[in-house]
Amino acid sequence: ALGAIQTSAYILQFPYYRMTNSGSRGVAVPLDYYRALIWLRDNTPQRSIVVDPGGLTISGELPTTWIAERRAWLPTSYTESILVPPHGSSVPRRAALWAAFMRDPGNADVASLIAGEADYLVVPREVRSPFWTLVSRSGSWMIYRSVARSRTDA
C-alpha cells in the first residue's frame, strides 16, 4: 500500500506542477525546440559545441547538455558565474556578443567570432549570415552549421 501511495504521489506531481504553472519544479520544453535538440543529438559529432539560447528562458536548465548531449557555448549573463574562465578567455564577453548577434546576425565581426568558437547554432528565428549555413529546421527552430568550424574539420 505504501508503495502505491508513493508511486501515485510521484506520478501526480507533474500534472500538478503543470496546472499550477510551477516553474521551480518542472521544466516544459517546447516541442519544436526539443525536436531540434534531438536532431543535434542524432546528426552531429559528440564533441560539437552548440550555441543555444533556448536555455535563456528555462531558468537554471541547459537542455543542450541533457537532451542534445552536446557541449554548449553559453551566451547568457550567468555564464561567468558558472564557468571560471582562464585569463584571456572569450567567455566573459559572450553575453555581450550574443546580444549584439541577436540585434544584427549579419554583423560580420560578431558572427565570425561566435562561428569561430561553436559548431552549431540553434535559434527560434531565421539568421542571415555568411558565417552560418542552415542544416535543419524543426518548426520555428532553425539549426545552423558554422562555416568557419566546418572548414577546420575537413
- Give pLDDT tens digits for 105-123: 888 899 999 999 999 999 9
What helix, strand, coil percent values describe the chain, rounded to 5?
Answer: 50, 15, 35
Q: Say if residue 78's pLDDT is above 90.
A: no
Q: Which long-range contacts (CB under 8 A, 24 or more apart) does 135-139 make?
A: 135/43, 136/36, 136/39, 136/43, 137/36, 138/32, 138/33, 138/35, 138/36, 138/39, 139/31, 139/32, 139/35
Kindly report the pTM of this predicted structure.
0.75
Looking at 88-92, 101-105, 145-149, which range is the least confident one? 88-92
pLDDT in tens, 44-62: 999 999 998 766 556 566 7
Q: Say if residue 133's pLDDT is above 80.
A: yes
User: What's the pLDDT at 65?
Assistant: 81
Question: Cell numbers at residue 17, please?
Answer: 506542477
Q: Say if residue 42's pLDDT is above 80.
A: yes
